[in-house]
Structure 1
């Protein structure tokens, strides 16, 4: 029986979903979205019916399988989504479960994602969701009309983001969990203020959402900007975030460590991310953390803070748009060491 109970990013990992690269397609989105979020040199790849190179997809699936096997060897129960023929659905892939689903305690919340190419992504996780519900977890569907395109359903209040406010939109990867009732998140090209209000409604008034404002004109997903390693310690992206911006947040008083500049990566291409995807880490417990095998400077930094890096090849998964954090959805973490954690935080937005 699947057990769902996770409320932070660092407690010992006991149960997890690892994505699959099967059938990965380039997202076919409005050019305005692609130009706002994707690396300029790869814009031409984002067209209908265009698959990622087969050698990258095959290598990415091998990397994901290796991650699943390693997690099992560490004692975690691992689940995989079912394979879906994305080419017939105009879809993307199921390699990044963290983008679609947010686990908060025993609640699993579906994100009303802004990208049209991801409207059918829930199909890959539906058998698992049925098991979640049977085991007593609370399933919270988005309850949003996803046929409404947030790019054309109203202007952005600030003009900074490509999506408007006509319908709620948020991606789960724009949020990080700091305790049973505390989230840190951001507005971005895929998360709007209507979406923040929707998430607050879904989670209830006892959950606080504090928004940070990174200096990132291409903002889409917070987990390459901020990475909690354990309670009181986090990596931050020095190009995007000034630690002073976290004053008054639930992370005030934390030790904030600038991540090293990413190692160059020419092959395979990073079609959908910046090199800062190196910060997209999976913390297994208060000490162990998965890193990409070639990110040696980052590994050295983690060692200096008492962490034990677990380097694995993951460049092909990164080519599909994420890394260890995005490619996993932690269902259960051991809360025994975090029940006394403070959930105090301020609400903004």
Structure 2
């Protein structure tokens, strides 16, 4: 299993002075990360963006409790797991920062909709994309997440004052035209219909995976083609944004489907990825074993959430402690898995990668496909 002692890597004085925010991929040695908070989470109100993404077993819960606080015992168990993860990161020498506490139950309104409350500040990976020295706020599609960036704003302002770049994508209207009124649950990819329309750029940052100059995206029920195009145009010619073909009739977030782990190694979900582009021909495709986990009951994600891992560096990876098959697979693949359980946290829709935002990794911008 992976060891948590702080490892020393070559240091460069110029790098240290400049790299307040510096993260180009999913695997360079981690130095600083933001970890979210699950406190005071509120059940999102029923909407087509939930219907298109949430397990059907949870629909009755959302319909009945939308706008109410989640049960305190659920929050307490999830918070304990998350705090344990923070302790592991800090033991490994990683600087961990957290968003401010927030009252998510405050109602709000825009010219286009009203909401009984927000959701949470648990998943910074959904709301922000770090590309080099820039933090980009995502134009998220769930109405309940309209102000999700605000508890993180003190951190963003601090990074900006110390030299990082800070950008917000165009704030979406999220009027009715932003959603597909004709949405029906697709039974196969042949009749795939997304919950979001092409009315305005929309994306969750967790629908992108970074490999230096190449960034991989999926269209989903929260990310449209216009949102992917906005990111490519914003980043400019120095980056290439590729849209992957994903076999998923309820897509939301790519990080339990396709995860670059190290140069030349990528973890794929065999139920969702049939083939990768030819540019990956020289890469080792690591097939995630079928999850042993069965969340059952209320959950905001599928059991494949256990494929949502997080790299401490090119070798050490945080993995769900109860997933023996995945732990052993990582060992066979030459990695050092660090087991920790987030099962109760998983029920809120995220895993190790979702609840983190790697603000600073030791490494520079490279191309892995030239």
TM more than 0.5: yes
Q: Where does residue 247 of structure 1 map in the other structure?
A: 277
1:214–1:241 contact (8 Å) kept in structure 2: yes
Q: Where does residue 37 of structure 1 map in the other structure?
A: 53
Structure 1 183/25 Cα, relative in aligned 2: closer, same or farther at 3 Å? same
Please give the secondary structure, in 1, of the residue aligned with 2:291: coil
Q: Where does residue 246 of structure 2 map in the other structure?
A: 214
Offset, 1:143:
2.3
Q: How does 1:108-187 map to 2 (within 5 A)?
A: 108-149=135-176, 151-152=178-179, 160-179=193-212, 181-187=213-219
Offset, 1:52:
2.2
TM-score by length of 1: 0.91
Instruction: State the Cα deviation string for residues 32-85 of structure 1 (Å, max 9, x = none).
Output: 222211100111222432322211211111111111121111111110011111
Instruction: State the Cα deviation string for residues 194-225 of structure 1 (Å, max 9, x = none).
Output: 11111122222321101111110000000010
1:277–1:318 contact (8 Å) kept in structure 2: yes
Q: Where does residue 347 of structure 1 map in the other structure?
A: none
RMSD: 2.0
Please give the secondary structure, in 2, of the residue aligned with 1:46: helix
Structure 1 202/155 Cα, relative in aligned 2: closer, same or farther at 3 Å? farther
Offset, 1:140:
0.7
User: Which range moves more in the overlay, 99-108 or 227-236?
Assistant: 227-236
Q: Where does residue 260 of structure 1 map in the other structure?
A: 289
Structure 1 165/155 Cα, relative in aligned 2: closer, same or farther at 3 Å? farther
Counterpart CA distance in 2 for 1:252 and 1:56 is 44
Q: Where does residue 312 of structure 1 map in the other structure?
A: 340
TM-score by length of 2: 0.86
Q: How does 1:178-197 map to 2 (within 5 A)?
A: 178-179=211-212, 181-197=213-229
Instruction: State the Cα deviation string for residues 167-216 of structure 1 (Å, max 9, x = none).
Output: 1100100000001x210110011100111111122222321101111110
Structure 1 150/329 Cα, relative in aligned 2: closer, same or farther at 3 Å? farther
User: 1:27 is matched with which residue: 44, 47, 50?
Assistant: 44
Q: Where does residue 330 of structure 2 map in the other structure?
A: 302
Unpaired segments of 5 or more residues in structure 2?
A: 1-16, 108-116, 184-190
Q: Where does residue 6 of structure 2 map in the other structure?
A: none
1:23–1:85 contact (8 Å) kept in structure 2: yes
1:150–1:169 contact (8 Å) kept in structure 2: no
Structure 1 238/270 Cα, relative in aligned 2: closer, same or farther at 3 Å? farther
Counterpart CA distance in 1 for 2:27 and 2:160 is 25
Counterpart CA distance in 2 for 1:3 and 1:105 is 10
How many residues matched?
A: 335
1:140–1:202 contact (8 Å) kept in structure 2: no
1:96 aligns with 2:123: yes
Q: How does 1:26-65 map to 2 (within 5 A)?
A: 26-30=43-47, 32-47=48-63, 48-65=66-83
Q: Where does residue 306 of structure 2 map in the other structure?
A: 278
Offset, 1:339:
4.8
Q: How does 1:196-207 map to 2 (within 5 A)?
A: 196-207=228-239
Please give the secondary structure, in 2, of the residue aligned with 1:224: coil
1:81 aligns with 2:107: no
Structure 1 106/266 Cα, relative in aligned 2: closer, same or farther at 3 Å? closer
